[in-house]
Chains A and B, each alone.
Chain A
Amino acid sequence: MGQLLIFIQQQDGIVSRVSLEALKGAQELAALLDHSLAGIVFGLETLPDELADIRLDEVLLVPAPELTVYSPEYYVAAMDEILSTESPALLIAGHTYQARDWLPRLARRRERPLISDCVGYHHNGELFWVRQIFQGKISTDVTTTPGLVIVSFQSGAFRSDDLGSGSPSVRTLDIDLSQVPSRVYPGERFQDAKSIVDLDRAERIVAVGRGIGEEENLALARELADTLEAGLGSSRPIIDYGWLPHDHQVGSSGQTVSPKLYLGVGLSGAIQHQVGMKNSNCIVAINKDPNAPIFEIADYGIVADLLEIVPRLTTVLKERQEK
């Protein structure tokens, strides 16, 4: 029987939600391949509560002091040593910002492939890893050469609400990192001025994307949002252009929302945006590109010029309110 490893990211003892989702994927793969499954936790001496009663064969704790605060050089060195002694078939992780910082470097050190931000897999004797490319417009099946494969699963690829029950045994690994040269000096983590726009609580959100075209057109979206008593969200490019402040951003580097109504205006729906909004109850997409990935998850789709639709929609909604 082979072995799978799942890296479980934690911050101050709190396990990352994306890691738990990836853990669900790892459980499925372990069952499919008839492999054992071990979790790996860096920087803690005791098992986080969330892992104490879930289905895992064992948890490897690596309490080395250098791993208390994340730094890519120590993380890569520690995992490199684990992979030299454990020889798993797969090392799985959640596709967090941290994972994308250190896993490529680890993959190069092991000279083995990393399949990043996987959204799933299929199996017919051989494993195919499913990724989205061209900003979600196209899917692809990826195969690898034989040997260790490192995989990071995108947020939402699996659901973490049923992780089964069990009582993993705990093994503490004594890894000496004192000889690893460090050239990286992490400072404190901080948040910029506290978010004023709390989209998390909005029942309705009107969100704009690159397709809005010009900054002046934002006013149309804003008026629609006001009429709907909705929050105003956006995708990354709008923030990068400086058209809206960062706290309006929905997606992997912004807020995660699940309103009753999510109305996307000129949003293409790249995967980084989708992870922040795809659990909305009702998704409406207005985009002139019929192949925009937002239409994969929309309940109602309108393939049209938003300048033709948005002002009319606002007018109709206003008239309705006046009645």
Chain B
Amino acid sequence: MKISVIVRQVPHQESVLKISKDETWIDEENLVFITNESDSYALEEGLLLKESQGGEVVVCTLGPERAGQVLKDALAKGADRAIFLRDDSFDRLDSQGMARAFAAALKDEQFDLILLGLQTDDIGNAQLGPILAEELDLPHATLVVGTEMLGRRVKVKQEQEGGWFQHIEMDLPALLTIQSGINKPRYASLRGIMAMKKKEIRDLTAADLGLNTSDLTPDQVLVRLYVPPKIKDTAFLEGAPDEIVAQLVEKLTNEAKVL
């Protein structure tokens, strides 16, 4: 089975983010970047399927030079080779532009399955998967929390709202977006890290992918970033821990009347 996993690099969840001076993005200096959480689960699912079915896992990312790290991490965990979509014109693509780039890179490889996390922890619009499926004319399922191969079909367990689930079968090739928690992502072994150094990372530019300016021009633009307006006038309790606790108990008893 030939599997592609799309992994993206995002700031660590605990990062303190600062809005850039022009208010159209964040200051990326001094940030720690990691593999997007749900993409790590997608990678693990790809590696598990390869182990049970045989085949190959090809990881693919799009981003600036620093994003190469997520490919190295994936190769160290057991992915076989990597594709790195890297071009100055890939800055600030919208999801459709990004999907065009991934589609151009993946379309000739005849993957049986394309996996990615259900959303990235930066823009977080959860659109890339279904758009890429449309771009490549593949059936798709989102929010997948379980997979099972049935010959030339894949059966998935899809998470729905309020504790509901649904089993869905799809013909291969197919695209799945993976929900966090589906498996236990492995750590890279020392051997894996050594092996990684010999594995292929193929760089592809917009020109290599045959993409022109109109393919990459976004239809939606973030014109301004700002700190979310406060909905409530939060009373911040300060002092030494004992003082904070005393204040809290007093407020909850006399002001909020919930104790």
Contacts and interface: CB of A to CB of B under 8 A. Distances in A.
A96 B180 CA distance: 18
Given A141-B224, A191-B163, A289 B16 contact: yes
A171 interface: no
B14 interface: yes
B167 interface: yes
Given A96-B161, A104-B127, A204 B139 contact: no
A201 interface: no
Given A101-B143, A116-B125, A312-B242, A190 B165 contact: yes
A54 interface: no
Interface string B7-27: 000010110110100000010
Nearest to B236: A301
Interface string B129-156: 1110111000111110000000000000
Nearest to B179: A253
B189 to A, nearest CB: 21
A240 B118 CA distance: 14
B142 A100 contact: yes
A114 to B, nearest CB: 6
Interface string A262-288: 000000100000000010011111000
Interface string A132-161: 111111111111110000000000000000
Given A300-B251, A303-B236, A312-B241, A253 B246 contact: no
B55 interface: no
Given A102-B130, A112-B219, A139 B160 contact: no
B64 interface: no
A316 interface: yes
A184 to B, nearest CB: 5
A187 B224 CA distance: 43
Contacts of A175: none
Interface in B188-225: 219-225
A196 to B, nearest CB: 12
A237 interface: yes
A186 B180 contact: no
Q: Which of A104, A254, A291 has the most CB of B within 10 A?
A: A104
Contact of B124 (A135, A143, A261): A135
A143 B221 contact: yes
A67 B160 CA distance: 18
Given A97-B159, A252-B161, A308 B241 contact: yes
A134 B11 contact: yes
Interface residues of A, number: 93
A302 B242 CA distance: 12
B193 to A, nearest CB: 24
A105 interface: yes
Contacts of A117: 124-126
Contact of A316 (B122, B129, B227, B245): B245
B163 A185 contact: no
A128 interface: yes
Contacts of B230: 295-296
Given A97-B160, A297-B231, A143 B220 contact: yes
Interface string A240-266: 101000110000111110001100000
Interface string B56-97: 000000000000000000000000000000000000001110
B237 A299 contact: no
B236 A302 contact: yes
A87 interface: no
Contacts of A323: none
A139 B228 contact: yes
Nearest to A303: B236
A190 B228 contact: no
A298 B232 contact: yes
A113 B163 contact: no
Nearest to B230: A296
Contacts of B224: 140-141
Identify the 10 closest CB pairs spanning chains A and B, nearest first: A240-B181, A187-B167, A183-B139, A104-B130, A104-B127, A113-B219, A113-B220, A261-B258, A108-B134, A282-B256
15 contacts: A72-B140, A73-B139, A97-B159, A104-B126, A104-B131, A142-B222, A143-B221, A145-B220, A236-B180, A252-B161, A254-B163, A297-B231, A300-B237, A300-B248, A302-B236
Interface of B: 11, 13-14, 16-17, 19, 26, 94-96, 99, 121-131, 133-135, 139-143, 159-171, 174, 179-181, 184, 219-232, 234-238, 241-242, 244-246, 248-249, 251-252, 256, 258-259
Interface of A: 72-73, 76, 96-98, 100-105, 107-109, 111-117, 128, 131-145, 183-192, 195, 204, 210, 228, 236-237, 239-240, 242, 246-247, 252-256, 260-261, 268, 278, 281-285, 289, 291, 293, 295-304, 308-309, 312-313, 316-317, 320
Given A72-B130, A143-B221, 17 more contacts: A97-B142, A104-B129, A105-B130, A108-B96, A134-B121, A140-B223, A141-B226, A187-B169, A261-B259, A289-B14, A291-B227, A297-B232, A300-B248, A300-B256, A303-B238, A308-B241, A309-B244
